Amino acid sequence: MLTWMDSLKGRSLMRLASFTDEEMLNLVDLAAQLKARRRAGVRGDLLHRKNIALIFEKSSTRTRNSSIIAARDEGGGAEYLTRPDIHFGKKESVKDTARVLGRIYDGILFRGFLQKTCEELAEFSGVPVWNGLTDDYHPTQILADLLTIKETFGDLKDCTVAYVGDGRNNVANSLMMGCAKAGVRYICCTPKELWPDEAVLAEAEEVAKRNGVDIRVFDDPVKGVKGANVLYTDVWVSMGEEAKTAERIKMLRPYQINMDLMRATGNIDGKLMFLHCLPAFHDFNTEVTKTSGALEVTDEVFESKYSRVFDESENRMHTIKALFVSALCDRKGV
Ligand code: CP
Ligand code: NVA
């Protein structure tokens, strides 16, 4: 029988701090139950006649498709809306768009630039709004990451996650808070110029302390990853920062995850995995890397037995489904 917390009904997700620790972990558990349900071949009706608007200002493979299939699997629908499709922010304000779409849809998932836009949609639409990535946070990604760690290691206890790369991007910010809330030790290996924002770090540190774990920031990746069980990276240049590409590649080269860095954890023969939110520049097969080759992770690590990136990617769908179901489903005990 599927169960989830009543307090999740009707809830928006702006960032992981929007939820209590228990609520966040409950969503991860619900996602595991929904995954098992889908594996058993069940396509149910938990979202029967629920319609979700997907407002996307930035590109997406995983978040877009996960949202559409999550809704469709359970009898709901999702409509993909990009800036050229609707008047959003051009002929119509965010506030007015929110009020229009909130009368039509049961929920809105937003991917875009400003966190403020996401918050405004939540404030004025009157329906749950989920942050599918902004410049500042990527909370739905971290639900999938926690599920992947839990599935691979059995639980989240006694685990150290080392994030290596751009330490103040949306994924790093949310991962730091997600680890703090889950009681997972978090290490950030990043150059001084990209250290986490002070306020974001302080907020996560307070939560980590409450849960008996610490957060440590290093500029030396080899020292930093010692003892880590999860090495995690993301692209060196996030969407919207393309002008910084050359500078970032130069700055972050020493932070590439390769087999030497995997070995530097000291856990190469034990509890160790590699995660990446994807898309990843690990080979020559993209427009960006056709001449440069691998950037943030080598092909050797990406394709190794330590890599759980496609489980992680699949888990985006189950965790987004958990968010939709817990917020919108009218029934319990199904
Ligand atoms: N990880 C992630 O959010 O992927 P997409 O950009 O493809 O949605
Ligand atoms: N930090 C990356 C995440 C992509 C899923 C970006 O914002 O482009």
- The pLDDT tens digits of the residues spanning 238-256 come to 999 999 999 999 999 999 9
**Percent above pLDDT 90 for the chain:** 92
Q: Which residues of 236-257 are buried (b: 16+ CB within 10 A; e: fewer)?
A: bbbbeeeeeeeebbebbeebbb
Q: What is the pLDDT of residue 333?
A: 53
| E strands in the chain | 51-56, 77-82, 107-111, 129-131, 160-164, 185-189, 215-218, 230-233, 273-276
**Percent above pLDDT 70 for the chain:** 99
Could you tell which of 138, 236, 320 is best to mutate to test the pocket of ligand 2, judged by most ligand atoms within 8 Å of the CB?
138
Is 86 near ligand 1, meaning CB less than 6 Å away? no
| E strands in 39-158 | 51-56, 77-82, 107-111, 129-131
CA distance 299 to 52: 37
Q: Which residues line ligand 2 (CB under 6 A)?
A: 133, 169-171, 234-235, 238-239, 277
- Mean pLDDT to the nearest integer, 63-81: 98
- Quote the distance between the C-alpha of residue 293 and its chain's center: 25
Q: Which residue has a Cα nearest atom 1 of ligand 2?
A: 238
Rounded distance from Cα 138 to ligand 1 centre (Å): 9
Q: Which of 277, 282, 308, 318 is catalytic?
A: 277
Find out whether 231 and 260 touch, Cβ atoms under 8 Å.
no
DSSP secondary structure string for all residues of 208-243: HHHTT--EEEES-HHHHTTT-SEEEE--SS-TT-GG
Whether 276 is a known active-site residue: answer no
pLDDT category at 81 given cuts 50, 70, 90 is: very high
Whether 62 is a known active-site residue: answer no
Is 267 near ligand 1, meaning CB less than 6 Å away? no
Output the average pLDDT for the chain: 96
Tell me how many degrees the CA angle 203-206-207 measures, rounded to the nearest 5: 90
Amino acid symbol at 192: K
Cα-only R_g, the chain = 19
Q: Is the pLDDT of residue 332 over 80?
A: no
CA distance 224 to 334: 45
Domains assigned to the chain: 6-137+315-328 (3.40.50.1370), 140-313 (3.40.50.1370)
pTM for this structure?
0.97
Q: Which of 111, 185, 248, 282 is catalytic?
A: 111
- Mean pLDDT to the nearest integer, 287-305: 92
Rounded distance from Cα 46 to ligand 2 centre (Å): 30
Kindly report, residue by residue over 25-50, the tens digit of the pLDDT.
999 999 999 999 999 999 899 999 99
What single DSSP character describes residue 257?
A: B
Whether 136 is a known active-site residue: answer no
CA atoms within 13 A on the CB side of 38: 20
Q: What is the pLDDT of residue 43?
A: 86
Whether 179 is a known active-site residue: answer no
Whether 277 is a known active-site residue: answer yes
Whether 118 is a known active-site residue: answer no
DSSP secondary structure string for all residues of 188-209: EE--GGGPPPHHHHHHHHHHHH
Q: Is the pLDDT of residue 331 over 80?
A: no
Least confident residue range of 84-98, 127-141, 304-318: 84-98
Atom of ligand 2 nearest to the CA of 170: 1
Helix 139-153 × helix 170-182 angle, to 10°: 50
Nearest Cα residue to 299 out of 314, 327, 280 = 280
CA distance 71 to 171: 24
